[in-house]
């Protein structure tokens, strides 16, 4: 079989063990030899941090199309596909990709797993770069607040961790206790604070309403750090108890309870007219039928009225399209786990080797010092040797920390996404319309109505999953029953915006 080899490295990755181009090529050639492939061309991309262009990836794609290549041999998935678009490009080729480090079964689940891994590698990198940059990640893991101290605390001590600022902390506690009684609005609480002779800050004696609300909703005061929507346990001393915090949240909820004066419609405020961009509202006709229509009617938009019952069916499809059968789910999660184990195993081996090297270097450095003291080696030689070993030691340490646990993260995220998707439809069927509406807003956005059909785009990462599930269908991978279900006419507008 005719094969090509593809290897890629970014300047950053060159530091990582096993990522160099020669190492990748070596591994690919070995695999090709073992399987009896005839390698007719090798393509290499070395990327700098600034230019992300992959000139040779494009050349390879052209080459494969022209020369009838059957196999692409590559070290790992993330070498070949940087994002889901690359995955689709490769997937559209006649040649099938083979990976040294990861094996995907040649069936529907293998294909979807491979796609999910591409997706998650991208997610993982995104997460790394914006949320958990290097030290910040470790800081958060140690329970240390990575930003400036919030009101009530000071940054001090090693690692500038949070220390209680007694006067401010007393004010925080006062606000929580007083508001928890439920007898005060935010405005009334500010007034009482002033009347009780308390001082917020030297320059502003009373917190602004917004500041006060943020303070009363910030879980950091009972020991939880909320960072970009996620919660992490903090190592700092809490100011309020969890019970008090919860009580305050209950007061907020009670104050916000919608007054049920008007009849509410399931999809009210959710849909936009596809023709004129006006809001779509609902009204009751003949005392009992609920109709949805565009609010731009008077300005000449003439899309038809649509019965709520018809819309319900179309909205149900949003959740239904994510439905994964139990059997299919098991296949995906199993192969996701298996392919991750390979990566974990690989990382473990590399780490063992690096640790041994570190041990050797440490011993040498110690021995050389003793030799210098004993007069066996001279000062100059000792200086030269020990600085060389110290440098190598730093390098080894850096390689070890770069190994990380990307594989595990990938697997956990992947399992969570398919778990979520699998539960979505059964859960949806059980729930009342308020909950259904919530789920629909989580899964997709841009609900547009053209008078007859509902159009929408799935949110990430459900878009990828649906695309994956739809792909199975046109590749003829599903049995006839499942195919029938998916081939029913679907009215949706699929967003073609892919990640990366
Ligand atoms: Zn309209």
Q: What is the DSSP string of 101-112?
A: S----SSHHHHH
Question: Could you give the CA distance from residue 485 to residue 470 in angstroms, rounded to a whole number?
Answer: 11
Judged against a pLDDT cut of 70, whether residue 483 lies above it is answered with: no
How many domains does the chain divide into? 3
pLDDT of residue 5: 96
pLDDT of residue 479: 38
CATH number at residue 97: 3.40.50.1390
Mean of the per-residue pLDDT values for the chain?
A: 78
What is the percentage of the chain residues whose pLDDT exceeds 70?
Answer: 72
Buried b (16+ CB within 10 A) or exposed e, 170-190: ebbbebbebbbeeebebeebb
Lookup result for tokens 């009849």: 263
Q: How far is the CA of 467 from the centre of ligand 1 (A)?
A: 29
pLDDT of residue 484: 34
Q: Which residue has the higher pLDDT, 89 or 277?
A: 277
Q: Of 256, 276, 293, at which residue does a domain stop?
A: 256
Q: How far is the CA of 277 from the centre of ligand 1 (A)?
A: 6
Q: How far is the CA of 312 from the centre of ligand 1 (A)?
A: 20
pLDDT of residue 492: 28
Judged against a pLDDT cut of 60, whether residue 12 lies above it is answered with: yes
Q: How far is the CA of 305 from the centre of ligand 1 (A)?
A: 11
Judged against a pLDDT cut of 80, whether residue 370 lies above it is answered with: yes
Q: How far is the CA of 291 from the centre of ligand 1 (A)?
A: 14
Judged against a pLDDT cut of 60, whether residue 124 lies above it is answered with: no
Q: Which residue has the higher pLDDT, 212 or 51?
A: 212
Q: How far is the CA of 447 from the centre of ligand 1 (A)?
A: 13
300 in a structural domain:
no
Q: How far is the CA of 293 from the centre of ligand 1 (A)?
A: 8
Report every protein residue that has its C-beta within 5 angstroms of ion ligand 1.
273, 275-276, 278, 294, 296, 301
The number of angstroms, rounded, from the C-alpha of 483 to the middle of its chain's C-alpha atoms is: 30
Q: How far is the CA of 314 from the centre of ligand 1 (A)?
A: 19
Q: Report pLDDT digits (tens) over 14-32.
A: 655 556 888 889 989 999 9
Q: How far is the CA of 451 from the centre of ligand 1 (A)?
A: 9
164 in a structural domain:
yes
Question: Could you give the CA distance from residue 284 to residue 294 in angstroms, rounded to a whole number?
Answer: 14
Question: Could you give the CA distance from residue 429 to residue 258 in angstroms, rounded to a whole number?
Answer: 25
Q: How far is the CA of 457 from the centre of ligand 1 (A)?
A: 19
Q: How far is the CA of 319 from the centre of ligand 1 (A)?
A: 26
119 in a structural domain:
no
Q: How far is the CA of 273 from the centre of ligand 1 (A)?
A: 5
Across residues 230-243, what is the average pLDDT?
A: 91
- Is 95 in the same domain as 147? no
Q: Report pLDDT digits (tens) over 381-402.
A: 888 888 899 888 888 877 776 6
Q: Report pLDDT digits (tens) over 248-268.
A: 999 998 877 654 445 578 898
- Is 51 in the same domain as 193? no
pLDDT of residue 468: 65
The answer to whether 101 touches 75, Cβ cutoff 8 Å, is: yes
Q: How far is the CA of 181 from the centre of ligand 1 (A)?
A: 48
pLDDT of residue 53: 59
Q: Report pLDDT digits (tens) over 410-432.
A: 555 566 667 767 777 887 887 78
Q: How far is the CA of 274 from the centre of ligand 1 (A)?
A: 7
pLDDT of residue 17: 56
Give the chain's radius of gyration (CA, Å).
Answer: 30
Q: Report pLDDT digits (tens) over 456-482.
A: 998 877 777 777 666 554 333 333 333
182 in a structural domain:
yes
pLDDT of residue 225: 92
Q: How far is the CA of 304 from the centre of ligand 1 (A)?
A: 9
- Is 353 in the same domain as 482? yes
CATH number at residue 166: 3.90.1750.20
The number of angstroms, rounded, from the C-alpha of 251 to the middle of its chain's C-alpha atoms is: 33
134 in a structural domain:
no
- Is 333 in the same domain as 205? no
- Is 471 in the same domain as 340? yes
Q: Out of 45-59, 160-174, 208-222, which region has the weakest mean confidence (pLDDT)?
A: 45-59
pLDDT of residue 411: 57
Question: Could you give the CA distance from residue 386 to residue 398 in angstroms, rounded to a whole number?
Answer: 18
Buried b (16+ CB within 10 A) or exposed e, 303-340: beebebeebeebbeebbbbbbbeeebbebbbebbebbb
Q: How far is the CA of 263 from the centre of ligand 1 (A)?
A: 23
CA distances from 17 to 22, 23, 42, 482 (A): 12, 9, 22, 44
271 exposed, middle or buried (CB, 10 Å; 0-12, 13-18, 19+)? buried
Q: How far is the CA of 296 from the centre of ligand 1 (A)?
A: 5
Across residues 112-140, what is the average pLDDT?
A: 59
- Is 348 in the same domain as 432? yes
Q: How far is the CA of 489 from the centre of ligand 1 (A)?
A: 24
DSSP 258: P
Q: Greatest CA span in the chain, whole angstroms?
A: 106
- Is 342 in the same domain as 228? no
343: preceding bond cis by omega (within 30 degrees): no
Q: Report pLDDT digits (tens) over 304-349.
A: 889 999 999 999 999 888 877 776 677 667 766 666 666 667 777 7
At 261, is the secondary structure helix, strand, or coil? coil
Q: How far is the CA of 264 from the centre of ligand 1 (A)?
A: 21
DSSP 279: B
Across residues 68-85, what is the average pLDDT?
A: 82
Across residues 90-105, what is the average pLDDT?
A: 80
Q: Report pLDDT digits (tens) over 19-73.
A: 688 888 998 999 999 999 999 999 998 876 445 556 788 899 999 988 889 999 9
Q: Out of 102-111, 231-240, 304-313, 453-462, which region has the weakest mean confidence (pLDDT)?
A: 102-111
Q: How far is the CA of 440 from the centre of ligand 1 (A)?
A: 22
Across residues 217-235, what is the average pLDDT?
A: 89
Confidence of residue 139 (pLDDT cuts 50, 70, 90): confident
Least Cα distance to 267 among 318, 303, 302, 301 occurs for 318
- Is 399 in the same domain as 469? yes
What separation, in Å, do the N-terminal and C-terminal C-alpha atoms of the chain show?
A: 32
Question: Could you give the CA distance from residue 115 to residue 461 in angstroms, rounded to a whole number?
Answer: 12
Q: Which residue range forms the structural domain that includes residue 77? A: 2-101
- Is 153 in the same domain as 227? yes
Q: How far is the CA of 292 from the centre of ligand 1 (A)?
A: 11
- Is 91 in the same domain as 165? no
Q: Given strand 289-294, what is the order of strands in its sheet? A: 280-285, 289-294, 306-307
Across residues 202-229, what is the average pLDDT?
A: 90
pLDDT of residue 490: 29
List of residues 6+ apart from 407 with CB closer than 8 A = 340, 341, 343, 344, 347
Question: Could you give the CA distance from residue 155 to residue 169 in angstroms, rounded to a whole number?
Answer: 14
Question: Could you give the CA distance from residue 196 to residue 170 in angstroms, rounded to a whole number?
Answer: 13
Q: How far is the CA of 272 from the centre of ligand 1 (A)?
A: 8
Q: How far is the CA of 306 from the centre of ligand 1 (A)?
A: 13
């Amino acid at each position: 079989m005719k094969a090509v080899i593809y290897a890629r490295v970014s300047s950053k990755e060159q530091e990582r063990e096993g990522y160099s181009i020669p190492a990748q090529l070596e591994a690919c050639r070995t695999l090709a030899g073992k399987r009896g492939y005839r390698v007719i061309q090798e393509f290499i991309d070395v990327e700098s941090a600034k230019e992300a262009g992959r000139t040779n990836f494009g050349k390879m794609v052209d080459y494969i199309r022209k020369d009838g290549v059957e196999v692409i041999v590559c070290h790992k998935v993330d070498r070949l596909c940087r994002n889901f678009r690359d995955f689709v490009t490769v997937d559209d080729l006649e040649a099938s990709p083979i990976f040294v480090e990861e094996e995907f079964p040649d069936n529907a689940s293998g294909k979807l797993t491979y796609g999910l891994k591409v997706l998650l590698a991208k997610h993982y990198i995104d997460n790394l770069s914006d949320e958990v940059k290097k030290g910040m990640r470790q800081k958060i893991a140690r329970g240390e607040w990575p930003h400036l101290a919030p009101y009530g605390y000071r940054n001090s001590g090693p690692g500038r961790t949070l220390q209680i600022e007694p006067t401010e902390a007393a004010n925080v506690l006062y606000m929580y206790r007083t508001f928890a009684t439920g007898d005060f609005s935010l405005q009334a609480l500010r007034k009482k604070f002033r009347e009780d002779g308390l001082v917020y800050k030297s320059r502003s004696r009373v917190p602004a309403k917004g500041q006060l609300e943020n303070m009363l909703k910030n879980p950091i005061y009972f020991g939880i750090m909320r960072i970009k929507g996620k919660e992490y346990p903090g190592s700092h001393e809490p100011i309020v108890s969890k019970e008090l915090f919860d009580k305050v949240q209950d007061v907020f909820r009670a104050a916000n309870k919608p007054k049920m004066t008007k009849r509410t419609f399931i999809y009210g405020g959710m849909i936009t007219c596809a023709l004129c961009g006006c809001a779509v509202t609902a009204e009751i006709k003949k005392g009992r039928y609920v109709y949805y229509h565009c609010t731009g009617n008077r300005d000449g938009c003439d899309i038809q009225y649509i019965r709520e019952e018809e819309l319900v069916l179309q909205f149900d499809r949003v959740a239904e399209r994510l439905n994964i059968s139990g059997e299919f789910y098991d296949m995906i999660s199993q192969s996701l786990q298996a392919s991750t184990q390979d990566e974990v195993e690989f990382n473990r081996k590399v780490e063992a080797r690096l640790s041994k090297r570190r041990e050797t270097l440490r011993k040498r450095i110690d021995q050389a010092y003793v030799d210098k003291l004993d007069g066996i080696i001279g000062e100059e030689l000792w200086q030269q040797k020990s600085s060389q070993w110290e440098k190598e030691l730093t390098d080894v340490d850096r390689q070890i920390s770069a190994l990380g646990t990307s594989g595990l993260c990938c697997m956990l995220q992947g399992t969570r996404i398919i778990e979520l998707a699998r539960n979505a439809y059964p859960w949806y069927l059980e729930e009342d319309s308020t909950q259904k509406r919530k789920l629909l807003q989580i899964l997709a956005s841009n609900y547009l109505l053209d008078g007859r059909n509902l159009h929408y785009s799935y949110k990430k990462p459900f878009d990828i999953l649906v695309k994956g599930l739809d792909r199975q269908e046109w590749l003829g991978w599903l049995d006839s029953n499942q195919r029938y279900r998916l081939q029913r006419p679907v009215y949706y507008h699929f967003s073609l915006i892919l990640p990366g």
